[in-house]
Structure 1
């Protein structure tokens, strides 16, 4: 399937290098106009790469932890190109340390960039996307949030929070054709320096993740997906609810533990469409128990 993003305007945060640069280049190659955001430098060189390849791009050094500055960035994009169609929330930092040794300043700093930075950018484009009845938003989650990783309590918490944000915004934006998804990338970037062996990193080129961003930015993008990507492989992560076991109003803590195998049984597990589905399932199980 050919994806044509001609006429679309995209903002990619943290796009001065690594994954963000790969995302920006890939979106531009498919015709999108790109706001290349990076507070740490490098945005100008990425813009020049895009222009040299025949694309349109502008550099931006907005600190996404500053909501007023983010609003100004969106206003500039709207003035130049008439609105933002695609937002790729990619910017991030690391402050790795075991939780026992982690200072709260480091915890807050990671939350502020990954979570609140994404919130600021998304809030700034949300009204315009609703008004134009079109939008594609991508949050960058991580296997550290989805599955855990030693020494990354702050990072994992921020990344899983973005999944929760996506789950609600996919519902609120659906009627306006605003599709909101998460990307969980595996790539060799400056954030992974020293974490993995060189032979593994050589297979994790950021450019192999970028097609996932293009797919999630397209007219035919899914809504509410967690797309995992790395080394040219693509998977979908799911949050499942097991069928569980109804123990009734007199269920005890001991009964929960002794029945854990049944409660945790994945057979016939399902994906709730939204939060109230958990309540509906539990009431249904309770009703079935009373009538059985």
Structure 2
């Protein structure tokens, strides 16, 4: 196996199934040595009892994907810890360093769903989804970045890459997914901050907002989930991975702080929040004046994108 990722060591979280599995296989096919992380939880995050050191069980999804990579001639090791804990996130980095002597790319992908309308959303469901998506991204990013900062200060500036996973739900919102949408929006903001802070250490940070057929999207995309009998399967997770592999490679030099929406053969650079129409009175407004001004500005502004499911 050789290609754009030759010589690189890549850690992928949530890599036992779906998009993460596709990313791990794609990196390996391009020559990377891969740390395959997956806790093996159910769709709603119901856990198995994890090993705090990250030692994988023989029947774990992480172990299965790592074995699949090795069977195809690649190099991979499984990691079975909870990356939403400080110990688990730290062990992801140390596993890469112990096994391969380096870490070049971190792909944050792990997550699960607990969908509810807001009036029915329990605090536990809010906390659990924010924990795995947003805190899980933060902790792995923090530990990887600390390693790369140390390398940079030692005169070994890395060509390091982080690819975070947001969602269209985080960009536009999604009915019944207030917790998930908030977490995914937070990941975009985290990406922008990390790109600005870590550039000095040789680290580039980008995010993707993918659409693909996985356990997490079966209900949301029920009408379009079936793969076609022939032709291009636009919803296959494998379609997303080429962008992730490229962003995770040295070839993406100079691309950082960006969010890409990707589905099938389509890729879009997202614009994000930018100033739109503006009025400045130069003095304090009255409420009535502000109402007129807001209506005037809204008439000049493009309408917002529709919330998913609205």
Q: Same fold (TM over 0.5)?
A: yes
Q: Is the Cα contact below 8 Å between 2:11 and 2:92 reproduced in 1?
A: no
Is this contact kept in 2: 1:83–1:128, CA < 8 A? no
CA–CA separation in structure 2 for the residues paired with 1:256 and 1:29? 58
User: Please, which of 257, 260, 270 is the counterpart of residue 224 of structure 1?
Assistant: 257
Alignment of 1:1-292 (within 5 A): 4-40=4-40, 41-130=60-149, 131=151, 132-134=156-158, 135-202=160-227, 203-221=234-252, 222-239=255-272, 240-260=274-294, 262-264=296-298, 265-266=300-301
Please state whether the residue corresponding to 2:119 is helix, strand or coil.
coil
8 Å CA contact retained: 1:244, 1:262? no
Deviation per CA, 1:152-182, whole angstroms, max 9, x where unpaired? Answer: 0000000000111111111111122211011
Larger % of helix: which?
Answer: 1
Match of 2:307 in 1: none
Name the CA distance, whole Å, in 2 between partners of 1:148 and 1:201.
24
RMSD: 1.8
Q: Which runs of 5+ in 1 are unaligned?
A: 268-292
Equivalent residues of 2:3, 2:31 under 8 A apart: no
Q: Which has the higher contact order (CA 8 A, sep 6+)?
A: 2
Q: CA deviation at 1:262?
A: 4.7
For structure 2, list consecutive stretches of 5 or more residues without a partner in the other structure: 41-59, 228-233, 303-310
Alpha-carbon spacing, 1:3–1:263, altered in 2? closer, same or farther (3 Å): farther
| 2:54 corresponds to | none
Question: Which deviations, in whole Å up to 9, do the C-alpha atoms of 1:62-112 show, x marking residues without a partner?
Answer: 111211122123112112212211000000010000000000000000000
Describe the shift of the 1:126–1:201 C-alpha distance in structure 2 as closer, same or farther (beyond 3 A).
farther
